[in-house]
Amino acid sequence: MKKNKHRVLKKARLSKGFTLIELLVAVGIFTIILTMSLGAIVSIISASKKARTLQTAINDLSGSMEAMAREIRFGKDYGCVAIGSGDCTTNTGSNIIHFRASDGSAESYRLQGISVERCLKPKSKNLNSPLPSSCATGDNYYSVTPSEIRISSLWFTIQGASDSGDYSLVQPRVIIVVQGNVIDGDQNTKFAIQTTISQRSPK
């Protein structure tokens, strides 16, 4: 009889379950782990969104840069002051470039505010008409960069466009440096791009 009673008491103790303190400790540990996990997930989602936004904006900017580079590569008579004004070296570079497009049109790119702008003066269809002059401040410039990109610096360096000087024997080339920010809501990501363009047909 005593043995049976002892077994019943032992079984009752084993099936007693968790105390309130044990439950509170377990819930507290679970809450801490859950909070840490959610924080990591939010950080991953935020980083992924930032990367996608940056990639999209950079792709758009790359398209604009490629179009500008193509026009410059097939152009001639580079200059920072006017078409054919010659070299703009590291010390005298500029945020504007003028050149003669492959079809004879006058073309320019410049930094205006937070955008890269383009100006194009088409060549007249009349063969006897003079070639158009360089774009001036009041001419029709328009933006070629996406609205979510803010350009803070645009720098053109021209080498080999002059018949004299340190780069007179160098094939004409243009070095472009662009810096700015990609804005998406509260996301603000800086970028810097540099490209070198060699004239397709040497002088």
Which pLDDT tens digit goes with each residue over 130-180?
888 889 877 889 999 988 899 999 999 999 888 766 666 778 999 999 999
Give the per-residue pLDDT at 58. Answer: 78
Give the per-residue pLDDT at 91. Answer: 72
Burial class (CB in 10 A: 0-12, 13-18, 19+), 56: middle
For 48, phi then psi, to 5°, come to -65, -40
User: Helical H runs in the chain?
Assistant: 2-14, 20-73
All residue ranges of the chain with pLDDT < 70 are: 1-18, 92, 164-168, 201-203
| Residue 27 in domain | no
67 close to 95: Cβ distance less than 8 angstroms: no
Residue appearing with tokens 């007693």: 16
Burial class (CB in 10 A: 0-12, 13-18, 19+), 78: buried
CA dist 94 and 88 (Å) reads 7
| Exposure of 28 in the CB half-sphere (CA atoms within 13 A) | 6
| Residue 61 in domain | yes
| Residue 35 in domain | no
| Residue 89 in domain | yes
- Prediction pTM value: 0.72
Give the per-residue pLDDT at 29. Answer: 87
Give the per-residue pLDDT at 180. Answer: 92
Q: Which two tokens stand for residue 57?
A: 């904006």
Give the per-residue pLDDT at 93. Answer: 82
The residue segments making up the domain with residue 67 are 57-198
Give the per-residue pLDDT at 46. Answer: 75
- Quick one: CA dihedral 196, 57, 155, 66, positive or negative? positive
The number of distinct structural domains making up the chain is 1
| Residue 38 in domain | no
| Residue 148 in domain | yes
| Residue 19 in domain | no
| Residue 96 in domain | yes
Give the per-residue pLDDT at 15. Answer: 54
